[in-house]
Amino acid sequence: MAGKTVSKSELIERASCARAAGQTVVHCHGCFDIVHPGHVRYLEFARRQGDLLIVSLTGDSQIAKGDQRPYIPQELRAENLAALAAVDLVYINPHPTASALLEELKPDVYVKGREYESSTDPAFAQEREIVTRNGGRVLFSSGDVVFSSTRLIEVLGQNPDLEAERMVMICRRHGIHRESLRDVIARFVDLRVLVVGDVILDRYVLCDAVDLANEAPMMSLTRLEDRTYVGGAGVVARHVAALGAKAYLFSAAARDEAATAVREALERDAVECHLPPSRPRLPEKTRFLVDTTKVMRVEDGQSSPLDCATEAQAVAWAASIPGGVDAVIFCDFGYGTISPRLVGHLRQALAGPPRVVTGDISGPRGNLMQFTNATALCPTERELRSVLHDFEGGLSNVAWNAMHHTRARHMIVTLGRKGLVVFDRQSQDVSDPDWKSRLLGEYLPTLADHVVDPLGAGDALLAATTLAMAAGAGLMPSAYLGAAAAAIEVGRLGNVPVDAGSLRRWLAGRLELSAPPRKAPTALTV
């Protein structure tokens, strides 16, 4: 494996020998920082196009020269590429593009991902011209449907010592320290936060698996206990209140006992609500569990868009919140409470623009693209790819497209059990060309030691991250606190709010927070 990583002179010589022997030389180039499984398929596709596959990667000095990148050093990136059976030779390129290398290498085939097929990037246009001028062909990989996180992260995650060292590196680089996080949490009490979205009833039916039924090959369950939790935007508001902020909630509700019970539960948690009865019944999601394993989910509820009068009442109520709000959280679960018109009218009507606006969706009916000019968007990878109908491109490319169309400043993409990736613009100045063209990315591994129930992890992350940003924390410390809240949430059954005390106690046990930070956390630009 070590012999695969070569100098440029050896690379050119090996390619010349292969070509002299009648072999086809194939070349791929990229950063290969966070290696998506789609990239592995991309390299396997490239390998099938010839006899010798050369992969060049951009050196550390040329990758987004801010201190957030590269996350993984060039030597380790080269080592992980060399470990792939499809790759024959690896070269660390000291230049920002592959143009100079292509002039010398003159590959027979140059393979790029499908996202480059319609690219107008001048750097790629130059690479393409060089390849074709020297008699080569440019191909675009077909790729496969990809929802998982990163191949490289899976490999590294198998080494606990390396994982711990990496967490220390992340925290030091971004000024994430226990005391600074405690200071951020202490400032939550000064915040007023408006949550807008669909309230959902999350029902858990705890069962015992008896045996297969006699009449058909299906499982036979004995019902033991029913539990009902306030879900959707309701639990996000409960997280906000439990973490110490003043929470306000707008959602469409109904005139029935379930809606009354939800209102009472929210008011007990000090959430101030505006819940007009504009739908026949609250949406419900019922999950059947054997022990802690979910065996089936049944959804009950249709989308009920708000009428103009109800929207106007909601806007007037939000505008009347004393002193305005510091943050707004939009949660679109696809049941009709949120629309682009409501989002626009609410943001215009609030007394003074909120410092932070965040948005998230859940399920196929949520519309992430309606949250324009947001401070941060927090979708899952699956949701993000579904919204853009892009199941093949690299994750950073998909995130860039979403941020470009929504003009979001930041994006946090959750990867389930694998953690999350934080994307930030290289420049926060909208007049700077880098606002549109350059992203910084940082992978944050999962902080959960064990998972009992993944339900509600995204809601906890959204609430805690928003509060941290509104309290003045930087993007990465905010994402860390969000990931911490999610780790607490998945450690218990059901949609139970994470409170500030639990968060402080959890932070006290994290080893990566013990080392003194190299620099103070930078304030988030919003």
- How many CB atoms are located within 10 Å of the residue 435 CB? 17
* Residue 457: predicted pLDDT: 95
- Nearest-angstrom CA–CA distance, 256 and 277: 9
Please list the residues that pair with 231 across neighbouring strands: 200
* DSSP letter for each residue of 306-362: PPHHHHHHHHHHHHTSTT--SEEEEEE-SSSS--HHHHHHHHHHSSS--SEEEEEE-
Comparing CA positions, the residue from 342, 346, 351 lying closest to residue 322 is: 351
User: Which residues touch 261 (CB under 8 Å, ≥6 apart)?
Assistant: 228
Low-confidence ranges of the chain (pLDDT < 70): 1-2, 34-38, 63-72, 142-163, 213, 427, 430, 433-438, 515-526
> What is the H or E stretch that residue 82 is in?
helix 74-82
* Residue 395: predicted pLDDT: 81
Domains in the chain and their CATH numbers? 2-144 (3.40.50.620), 166-513 (3.40.1190.20)
* Residue 518: predicted pLDDT: 47
45 three-class SS: helix
Q: Which amino acid is at 10?
A: E
Which pTM does this prediction carry? 0.75
Q: Contact at 8 Å (CB) between 337 and 196?
A: yes
- Nearest-angstrom CA–CA distance, 365 and 361: 8
Cα four-point dihedral sign 55, 155, 492, 500: negative
407: left (phi over 0), alpha (psi -120 to 50) or beta: left
> What is the H or E stretch that residue 106 is in?
none
* Residue 425: predicted pLDDT: 84
* Residue 75: predicted pLDDT: 83
Q: Contact at 8 Å (CB) between 410 and 442?
A: no
User: Which residues touch 220 (CB under 8 Å, ≥6 apart)?
Assistant: 209, 210, 211, 212, 213
* Residue 347: predicted pLDDT: 93
Cα four-point dihedral sign 208, 212, 213, 218: positive
- Nearest-angstrom CA–CA distance, 394 and 416: 17
User: In the predicted model, what is the mean pLDDT of the chain?
Assistant: 87
| Per-residue pLDDT tens digits for 464-475 | 999 999 999 999
Structure tokens at 183: 């200071």
* Residue 162: predicted pLDDT: 61
C-alpha dist (Å) from residue 257 to 111, 201, 248, 253, 304: 60, 12, 22, 11, 19
Comparing CA positions, the residue from 248, 246, 313 lying closest to residue 278 is: 313
Structure tokens at 188: 């939550």
Q: Contact at 8 Å (CB) between 252 and 198?
A: yes
